[in-house]
Amino acid sequence: MKKLFKIMRDRLSAGEDLVLVTVIASSGATPRGAGARMLVGAGGRLCGTIGGGSVEYRSEHIAAERLEKRASLVHDFSLTKDDVQNLGMICGGAVNVYFHFIPAGDGNAIAVADEALRRFAAGESFWLVSDLAGDGRLSLVNRDDCPEWLSAHLNAHPQRVNEGGRDVFVEQMNSSGRVYIFGGGHVAQALEPVLTGVGFRCVVMDDRSEFAKRELFPGAEEIKLIDFNRIADSVTITGEDYVCVMTRGHAFDTVVQAQVLPMHPYYIGVIGSRAKAAGVRQQLIENYGISEADCDQVTTPIGLDIKAETPAEIAISIAAQLIEVRAGRAAK
C-alpha cells in the first residue's frame, strides 16, 4: 500500500484523474478477498492487483468507464463456470468491488496519501476509511481519534460497515507490530529480507558488533547492538509484536525467552530441536519462574515443517509460519 499511496499522491498532484479499485466483500472461490486494491489511470493499471483473471480484466474496463463518466460505482461480480475455469478454481463465488473516482488535484486524497506515508514511516497503526454512501471521501483513523460508532470495527479484518445510515469500508493499513529477531547469524540474514519483502517490519539484535551491521540487514527497520541480559534497556516488546529467537547458543536463547515471555508478544518462535526445547522449558520454569502457560506460547522448532535444512530454506519456513499467523490474526 505504500507504493499505491505514493503513486496516487504523485499522479493526482501531476493533474491525472484516477480510479481506486477495492474489493469490499467476497464469497466463495474468489481470487482475492476484501481489501485487495489496484490503482487505475488513463493508461490502465498503475499498481496493485485484485487477483488477476476475469475479475481484474473486467474491473480495468469498468475503471476506464468511471474515468470517462467521472463517477464512482459499486459493482457486483458473480463468477460463472467459465470464469472459474479461467481462474483455475473448482467452484464459483461473488465479488463486490468499489470503483472510487478521484479527480486530478483532489486535495483530500493527496493529503490522505501524504499522511498515510508519514504514518507508515513512523510505524504507526492506522486504518483507511472509504465512504461508500457519499462521495467516496477517504480518511485515516487510529484508536485514539476514531468515531465511537466505528471503534468496534478497528481490527485486522477488512470489512464493510453499515451503521446509523453510514456505509463505509474500513481496512487496517499498518500495524505497529514488529518482528524482533534475536541473533544476527546466517538464518537471520536470510530471514530479514524475506520478511521485509512480505510487509513485516524487522528489528534485528545481536550482542556482537560484527553481526549487528546495516550491510547484513539492509531492509531492517533497526539493527541494535544489545546486551542479551538486559533486553528491556534496548527494546519494548508489546502484544502486537512477533519474536524470533535464534541466538548463537542455548544459554542465550534461554536468557532471551526468560525476559521476553513476560512481555507477552503475539508470537514467539525459537530455533532448535524439540529435545533442546524440552530442556530450555524446564530451565525457564525452574530457574526463572516462568509459568507453564507462558511456556506454552513458544513455538519451537520455529517455522513450518517443510524439511528445511539450509539457512535460506529455514528462513522460508519461518516466513511462511509468520504469514500464516498474521493471516489468522486478520481473520479474528
Contact 311, 237 (CB under 8 A): no
Interval 239-249: pLDDT, tens: 889 999 999 98
Interval 85-129: pLDDT, tens: 554 444 457 888 999 999 999 999 999 999 999 988 887 888 999
> Does pLDDT of 300 surpass 70?
yes
- 179-331 CATH: 3.40.50.720
Interval 146-197: pLDDT, tens: 888 888 888 777 889 988 788 999 988 876 679 999 999 999 999 999 999 8
Q: How far apart are CA 327 and CA 200, in angstroms?
A: 12
Interval 32-59: pLDDT, tens: 678 899 999 999 999 999 887 778 889 9
Question: Phi, psi at residue 328, to the nearest 5°?
Answer: -65, -35
> Does pLDDT of 27 surpass 50?
yes
The string of DSSP codes covering 286-298 is: HHH---HHHHTTE
pLDDT the model gives residue 78: 77
The single residue listed with the C-alpha cell 468491488 is 97
Q: How far apart are CA 169 and CA 176, in angstroms?
A: 21
Task: Please name the residue ranges forming H helices in 51-180.
Answer: 53-69, 81-86, 107-122, 148-151
Interval 310-328: pLDDT, tens: 999 999 999 999 999 987 7
Helix axes 311-331, 186-197, angle to 10 degrees: 40
Count Cβ atoms below 10 Å from residue 210 Cβ, excluding itself: 9
Q: How far apart are CA 304 and CA 173, in angstroms?
A: 27
Q: How far apart are CA 26 and CA 155, in angstroms?
A: 18
Domain range annotation of the chain: 2-102, 122-174, 179-331
pLDDT the model gives residue 89: 44
Query: Which three three-digit cell numbers place residue 242?
Result: 512477533
Q: How far apart are CA 92 and CA 51, in angstroms?
A: 15
Element (H, E) at 7: helix 2-13
pLDDT the model gives residue 30: 55
Q: How far apart are CA 15 and CA 105, in angstroms?
A: 6
| Mean pLDDT for the chain overall | 89
Strand ranges (DSSP E) for the chain?
18-28, 37-41, 44-49, 73-78, 93-102, 126-131, 138-141, 159-163, 166-174, 179-182, 202-206, 222-225, 242-245, 267-270, 298-299
List, edge to edge, every strand of the sheet that includes 93-102: 44-49, 37-41, 18-28, 93-102, 73-78
Classify the C-alpha dihedral 187-215-125-233 as positive or negative: positive
- The predicted model scores a pTM of 0.67
pLDDT the model gives residue 135: 75
- pLDDT higher at 133 or 45: 45
